Homo-oligomer: A and B are copies of this chain.
């Protein structure tokens, strides 16, 4: 509750430094689990065992869609959740004298793309100077390790938090946000939360919501010798993609109406991330479907955004004779999530700012990011200040994804100092 003494601050940072080679080894091991969507469970089992060995009380469960589907923060699910396992470790003090804290991270990683585009194999983490490479290393296995090793550093000094601390490792952050939501539904709450996503040593002040949707075009195929009479579904799909770029431009033009987004160059990113269509080079394709991601400003509900997307696609379709007769289908198949603003002036942020200054010797900066974050679950649905704050990275979601190790060490120091001040410490 009180600010940390310079002497304790230094002892904590030294303890983080002393454990940092082990932390890199741990991050490397975690990075070897190919925790792509639908196959996160082996990494989760590893984390479960690691936390249990450290004395956490463990909770591990498969997300049940029925438990969360009526929640306003729920996103549509298209896969089987039998192996969608959340892991939460709880560390309880003898006496609850401080403020409780959730340290959260997601274990799921995005696909690698063509593996031959990687310099080294994506699930064989590779250290080169101050960088650690691998799919998911920055986004966000380094963060999960930082959460765990921050507490370990305190333990090395003979301390544990003087308030309940939860380590959450969740799934589904890269596609729905249902993993963090399922933790909330299961009753996990605290006075603050930290999520060490790769945020370039800064705190996220606000972020966008995100919608995922699939657009399906279906037409009448003919022999290509009659190509003029048939509707090419692949080319019709492209007309819709161009139409969605118009919607993106329109939404970006509204940035002035949205606090914290006025000064961003391009807050609303639309992406067509996946496409499939047609069966045969010599048949005019009868179908094409493409998967999209678009951002929405905080305060815009997913429902309102969805309505605007569909209305816009209908207008685009009306311009194209074939599409006018074959309106495209829109299927929501993932993120259906609002953005959030971390209001300024919380005690949690002030605590983070002090811890950051001690660890970095520079003031904490905040910024606005145009991507989805599980922070929205805490801020919107639990009224909990959520500090999304983490290390410097490059090429997340790309080839040769990497995190800067010196930055990870400083972030770990910040988290350890935050715990010491926010939760307080008791001797083990």
The answer to whether A218 touches B283 (Cβ under 8 A) is no
Beyond A234-B272, A269-B227, is A397–B113 a contact (Cβ under 8 Å)? no
Residue A276 interfacial (CB < 8 Å)? yes
Closest to A214 in B: B281
Beyond A280-B111, A281-B291, A334-B281, is A272–B221 a contact (Cβ under 8 Å)? no
Residue A284 interfacial (CB < 8 Å)? yes
The answer to whether B283 touches A397 (Cβ under 8 A) is yes
In the assembled complex, how far is the CB of residue A388 from the closest CB belonging to chain B, in whole angstroms? 13
Beyond A113-B287, A371-B223, is A273–B280 a contact (Cβ under 8 Å)? yes
Residue A224 interfacial (CB < 8 Å)? yes
A334–B335 CA distance with the chains assembled, in angstroms: 40
Residue A292 interfacial (CB < 8 Å)? yes
A417–B279 CA distance with the chains assembled, in angstroms: 39
Q: Which residues of B are found within 8 Å of A117, using beta-carbon distances?
A: 218, 220, 286
C-beta contact mask, A193-222 vs B, less than 8 Å → 1, else 0?
000000000000000001010000010111
The answer to whether B273 touches A275 (Cβ under 8 A) is no
Beyond A274-B281, A274-B285, A281-B212, is A225–B269 a contact (Cβ under 8 Å)? yes
Q: Which residues of B are found within 8 Å of A270, using beta-carbon distances?
A: 227
C-beta contact mask, A347-373 vs B, less than 8 Å → 1, else 0?
000000000000000000000011110
C-beta contact mask, A245-273 vs B, less than 8 Å → 1, else 0?
00000000000000000000110011111
Closest to A211 in B: B281
The answer to whether A225 touches B371 (Cβ under 8 A) is yes
Within 8 A of B (CB), among A71-123: 110-111, 113-114, 117
Q: Which residues of B are found within 8 Å of A278, using beta-carbon distances?
A: 272-275, 291
- The residue in A230, A238, A287, A372 that gathers the most chain B C-beta atoms within 10 A of its C-beta is A238
Beyond A232-B272, A282-B212, A369-B225, is A287–B114 a contact (Cβ under 8 Å)? yes
A350–B58 CA distance with the chains assembled, in angstroms: 88
A235–B279 CA distance with the chains assembled, in angstroms: 20
Residue A144 interfacial (CB < 8 Å)? no
Q: Which residues of B are found within 8 Å of A398, using beta-carbon distances?
A: 220-223, 230, 283-284, 286
Beyond A223-B397, A238-B238, is A282–B277 a contact (Cβ under 8 Å)? no
Residue A288 interfacial (CB < 8 Å)? yes
The answer to whether A114 touches B399 (Cβ under 8 A) is no
Residue A241 interfacial (CB < 8 Å)? yes
The answer to whether B114 touches A290 (Cβ under 8 A) is no
Q: Which residues of B are found within 8 Å of A210, using beta-carbon distances?
A: 282
Task: Choose from B234, B241, B293, B372 the contact partner of A235 (Cβ within 8 Å).
Answer: B241
Residue A228 interfacial (CB < 8 Å)? yes
Query: Could you list 30 A-B pairs, sorted by A, with CB under 8 Å?
Result: A110-B282, A110-B283, A111-B279, A113-B283, A113-B287, A114-B287, A117-B218, A175-B282, A210-B282, A223-B396, A223-B398, A224-B269, A224-B371, A225-B269, A227-B271, A228-B265, A234-B273, A238-B241, A271-B281, A272-B278, A273-B279, A273-B283, A273-B285, A274-B277, A274-B285, A275-B288, A276-B276, A281-B292, A281-B293, A281-B334
